[in-house]
Amino acid sequence: MVEPYLGSGAFSINASVPAVGYELNGDLCAMWNWLKTATPQDLQDLSALVEDCRQRTEKPDVRDMALDLGRQTYVRVNCCSVVVGQLSSWKVYPQHSLPIAETAKCLPRLRDITVIHGRGESHLVQDGDLLFVDPPYVGTKGNYVEKGGGADIEGEYKPQDTINLLSRVSCPVIFTYGTNAREVFPQFSWEPVKTVKVPNMRRGGTVDRIEWVTYANFPT
């Protein structure tokens, strides 16, 4: 199974077969590679460090915790960025804690996922592949930039790259996208999956997001 846009890897984590995921953000790759070798005790130690920093300062800065890039990004995704995967903040929010128990349950599965730092559109399909495609959402701004500033991965995303990928593969494809799926990819037949509430990072509260899915190359 292959995820050309790995991100959180939710589909790969919940699958039961070996998986390959492509990710352009080097910080997220570092997080994945750390988690692939981490133990439950490593997670507990990291959680204890975060809690200790909270006791010493209000909204501590993750850059002051002397963490390697993998651990630092795990904290950023889960505490600094309000558990939505954004990498725009460095401050640890006091109302959020690391999902240690949930992550520990995933550790055995993570070892069966190969993470490649690169473009998923370059994947050469092999016999038996299943593609789960969930590319960046056009029109949103999650600030998925690397430490110290780097490529604007969302801003540089071109939907045509995904269209080109799907046009050249003959393996089964599960393609999911957000609210504007039918506008960005009108050539596909979309089915609504569900409506979810996601945090509105700039204005507070939540906004509704429709999740859509379409399928290709499945036997009829």
Pairing of strands 173-177, 191-199: unpaired
pLDDT tens digits, residue range 40-66?
999 999 999 999 998 888 889 999 999
Residues 40 and 37: their CA atoms lie apart, in Å, by 10
Once rounded to an integer, what is the mean pLDDT over residues 201-208?
68
Instruction: Give the rounded distance of the alpha carbon of 76 from its chain centre.
Output: 13
Instruction: Give the Cα-Cα-Cα angle 164, 169, 174 (nearest 5 degrees).
Output: 90
CA-CA distances (angstroms) from residue 158 to 57, 171, 179, 193, 215?
A: 42, 22, 17, 24, 20
pLDDT tens digits, residue range 32-43?
999 999 999 999
Selection from 189, 191, 129, 193 nearest residue 165 by Cα: 129
Q: How many CA atoms lie within 13 A of 163 on its CB side?
A: 10
